[in-house]
């Protein structure tokens, strides 16, 4: 798949907040869940960490290690307690980078990976997690009803017009079409259920959904 992220996107964190309604609430919730369910002397890994803002702003446990992974060099600013690695997420997992993790995050990252690799990412995350560890997964999905999906997409475009011009919305949609492919909600949820003891939907807005799989 062509990569939408050929290099750092200027003002990316602001851009994502202007593109996904109520996404700040999702980040707040995920940071709270990360702190509460991370375990001492383990790792927390953010796959597709982009600028690193999520880990930078997350409350840290004293003996936990924090690692952000992204295949783009986002020229990360030095961040106390956080290590950033420029690497493909699946290569990182295959090489054991997520060994002894208690929290792994993939916030809108899987949707940029080839379908053929997505199940392997989920399986390897599960394998590396310690007992009681969690996988926090957020994605834009295809909703089961075409009718509902159509209304939701139109409403999203309407909402984005507060922040972008019509040309900007259309241009981004054309660019994203080259590299982003959505899972069906059912397919993603079923794959998560096949691996994890429980799968918990913790946030959703339109076609954006965030779930937590518990090992």
Ligand X SMILES: C[S@@+](CC[C@H](N)C(=O)[O-])C[C@H]1O[C@@H](n2cnc3c(N)ncnc32)[C@H](O)[C@@H]1O
Window contacting ligand X (CB under 6 A); options: 67-75, 141-149, 169-177, 203-211: 67-75
Q: Are 39 and 13 in contact (CB under 8 A)?
A: no
Considering only residues 33, 67, 98, 107, which one is a binding residue for ligand X as defined by CB under 6 A?
107
65-70, strands of its sheet edge to edge: 82-86, 65-70, 43-47, 101-107, 129-140, 208-214, 198-205
Within its chain, how far is the Cα of 119 from the centroid? 15
- CA-to-CA separations, 63 to 39, 56, 79, 143, 161, in angstroms, rounded: 9, 16, 16, 40, 44
5 binds ligand X (CB under 6 A): yes
76 binds ligand X (CB under 6 A): no
User: Given the complex with ligand X, which of 87 and 144 has the nearer CB atom?
Assistant: 87
Q: How far is the CB of 147 from ligand X (least distance, A)?
A: 27
Considering only residues 34, 43, 45, 48, which one is a binding residue for ligand X as defined by CB under 6 A?
48
Q: Distance between CA 54 and CA 73 in Å, rounded?
A: 16
Count of residues near ligand X by CB under 6 A: 16
User: Given the complex with ligand X, which of 60 and 172 has the nearer CB atom?
Assistant: 172
- CA-to-CA separations, 44 to 67, 77, 102, 157, 201, in angstroms, rounded: 6, 19, 6, 34, 20
97 binds ligand X (CB under 6 A): no
Considering only residues 93, 108, 137, 192, which one is a binding residue for ligand X as defined by CB under 6 A?
108
Considering only residues 66, 76, 84, 112, which one is a binding residue for ligand X as defined by CB under 6 A?
112
Burial of 36 (0-12, 13-18, 19+ CB in 10 A): exposed
Q: How far is the CB of 112 from ligand X (least distance, A)?
A: 4
Q: Residues interacting with ligand X, by CB under 6 A?
A: 5, 16, 48-50, 69-72, 88-89, 107-109, 112-113
């Amino acid at each position: 798949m062509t990569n939408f992220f050929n290099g750092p996107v200027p003002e990316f964190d602001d851009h994502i907040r202007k593109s996904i309604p109520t996404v700040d609430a999702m980040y707040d919730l995920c940071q709270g869940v990360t702190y509460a369910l991370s375990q001492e002397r383990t790792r927390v890994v953010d796959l597709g960490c982009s600028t690193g803002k999520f880990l930078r702003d997350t409350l840290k446990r004293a003996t936990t290690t924090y690692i952000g992974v992204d295949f783009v060099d986002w020229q990360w600013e030095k961040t106390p307690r956080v290590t950033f690695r420029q690497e493909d997420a699946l290569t990182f997992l295959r090489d054991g980078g997520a060994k002894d993790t208690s929290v792994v995050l993939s916030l809108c990252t899987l949707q940029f990976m080839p379908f053929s690799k997505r199940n392997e990412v989920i399986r390897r995350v599960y394998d590396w997690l310690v007992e009681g560890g969690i996988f926090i997964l957020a994605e834009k999905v295809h909703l089961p009803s075409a009718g509902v999906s159509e209304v939701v997409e139109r409403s999203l475009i309407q909402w984005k017009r507060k922040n972008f011009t019509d040309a900007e919305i259309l241009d981004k949609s054309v660019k994203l079409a080259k590299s982003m492919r959505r899972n069906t909600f059912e397919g993603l949820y079923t794959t998560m259920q096949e691996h994890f003891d429980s799968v918990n939907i913790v946030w959703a807005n339109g076609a954006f959904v965030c779930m937590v799989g518990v090992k």
